[in-house]
Amino acid sequence: MATSIAPIAPVDPPVIKAAGGILQRSTPRGDEVMVVYRKRHQDWTLPRGKVKDGESFQEAATRQVQEETGCSCRIGNYLGTISYSDNGVPKVVLFWKMTLIEDKGAKNNEEIGEALWLPVPAAIERLTHAQEKALLSRIGSLARQPQASAEPAVRVESRPAVTFTAASGKSSVDNHQAQLRLLRECEAFRVELGFLERRNPRADNFWAEAAHEQLNNVQRSLESDDIEGGWFGLRAAQRYAVFGMNQTELANRAHVLREENLKNASWRAEAIERLLSVSDDRLTAELVADAMSLRNEDFSNQSYTARLTENQLRTLIIVCGLSAVAVAPFMLLSGRIPMVAAVVLFGLFGSAFCGAQSLIMGRNESRIANLFTTLTPVLFGAVAGLAGYAIYEYMAFLTFHSGERHISAVLAIAFLCGCLGQRLLARITTGRKRKIVHV
C-alpha cells in the first residue's frame, strides 16, 4: 500500500483458496459419490485441497481429487462455493462436478485414512460439515444439467490482493476487501442460522430453507463479482431468520432497528417508526422483517445515490475544466470578447457551484437526476451570468455604479447570476411535491 522504513504487516488478511470435486460414478444401484476421511482433522469431507501458486481452481480441484482418491476423472459443471474461517483466516473452497474415468485405488495414505463410494443420501449423512452436506444435496438436480465447458472460469494469480472471480479480468484491492467483509459476515450469519435451526427442529421451517437459498445467492453473486447482489442476498437471509427468533430476540432486534432509525431522515424512517411503535410483547416476526426490509431498501438507495452523486460531481468538474480551456484562447483577443468570455466562464462556475451544492445536500432526493437534468441548469446558469453582465453594462441605474467598469464586480455579478439561474431552473424542473393526506 504505502512505503515504510521498516516492514509492516499487510493490512489485508490472507485468504486461503482451495478447490475440490464431487466425484461421481454410475452403478446398477444408482449414482454414487466419493467421500474421504482425513486423519489429521478426523472428519469426513469431499475430496479437496489448497490451490498452489500459479494454479487455477479447476487444475487444483482435479489434482486434489486424484491425490486423495486415486481416481482419474473428467471435470464438469461448477457446483458452488463454501466459505468458513480456518483459525481466524477466511477460506473459500470451490467445487466442480467430476466423472470417474478410472479408479486406481492409489490414494494419499498419509493424509487420507479411507475413501468410500456411497449413494448420495448416505454420503450426505456421512459428511461432517453442514455446508458440504447442503452442497451435495443439490447433486440430484445438477446431475440433470448438461455438462459445462471445463475452460477455466476462475484463475487466481500470485498477487498480494486478488478477487475470487475473474468477471472483470482485473484484480482490485477495494473489491478484495469488500469480498472479504462479505465472506466474514456470511460466516457469522451461518453460525447464527445454524443455532436457530437447531433450536427449532421442525420440518416446516420455511424460513430456514429461504435463508439458505439466499445464502446460495450470495455465493453466486461472489462468483460473478457482484458485491452489491451479495449484500442483497445476505440481508434477505437475515430477514428470513427473524421468523426463527423468540420474543426476547425480536425485542432486541427491534431495539437495534429503532436506534439505527434515529440517524435516518427519509420517508422510510417514518414507516419503520410506525411499524415498531408497538410494545415489545406485541412485536411479531412480520413487523420486524418488514422494518428490516425498509432499512435494507434505504441502505441500497443511499448507496445508489452516493454513486450517482459522485459521477455527476465528476462530470461538473470536467465541464468546468473543459470550459476554462475553451475560453483561454478568447482571452488573448482584443475588444469586448475577453470580458464576455470571462463572464460566461464565471457564470458557469457559479451555476456549477450551486449544482454541486444541491447534489451534496441531496435536495432532489425524491427525483433521481440524470446527466441531462444536471447539466441543463448549469448551462442555463452560464447564460444567466451573461445576462447579469448585460444588466451591469447597459443598465447602470439598476446596479448603482457610475458607469466605470470594475472587472471584479462584473465577474462577481456573473458568478451570482449563474448560481441564481441554476437554482431557478432546477426549482422549475423539480416541480411540486405531492401532498399526502392522512385520513
Tens digit of each residue's pLDDT (9 = 90 or more) over 251-270: 888 888 888 888 777 778 88
Mean pLDDT of 308-321: 82
Please check the confidence at residue 35 and state whether its pLDDT lies above 90. Answer: yes
Q: pLDDT of 140-150, one tens digit each?
A: 444 434 443 33
Residue with the bigger pLDDT between 392 and 153: it is 392
pLDDT value at residue 23: 92
Answer yes or no: is pLDDT of 192 > 60. yes
For the chain, the first-to-last Cα distance in angstroms comes to 59
Q: What structural domains and CATH numbers belong to the chain?
A: 16-142 (3.90.79.10), 173-302 (no CATH), 308-430 (no CATH)
133's enclosing H/E stretch is: helix 130-136
* Average confidence score pLDDT of the chain: 76
Cell representation of residue 134: 447442503
This prediction's pTM: 0.46
CA distance 246 to 159: 46
d(CA 420, CA 409): 16
Closest CA to 325 of 296, 345, 305: 345
- What is the model's pLDDT at position 12? 44
Query: How many Cα atoms sit within 13 Å of 324 on the Cβ side?
Result: 8
For the record, the C-alpha cell of 408 comes out as 471584479
- Which pLDDT belongs to residue 148? 39
Q: What is the average pLDDT across 378-401? A: 68
pLDDT for residue 79: 81
More confident site: 92 or 3: 92
Statement: residue 46 has pLDDT above 90: yes
At 217, which amino acid appears? N
Higher pLDDT pick, 436 / 394: 394
Residue 359 has pLDDT above 90, yes or no: no
Q: Is the CA virtual torsion 210, 216, 217, 222 positive or negative?
A: positive
* Residue of 212, 296, 208, 285 whose CA lies nearest to 253: 285
Given this model, what pLDDT does residue 173 score? 62
Overall average pLDDT of the 206-219 stretch: 86
> Per residue in 196-234, is it b (16+ CB within 10 Å) or e — as a string?
bbeeeeeeebebbebbbebbbbbbebbbebbbeebbbbb
Chain segment 99-149, per-residue pLDDT in tens: 998 887 767 778 888 889 998 888 888 998 888 887 887 664 444 344 433
Percent of the chain with pLDDT over 90: 7
Return the pLDDT at 429. Answer: 61
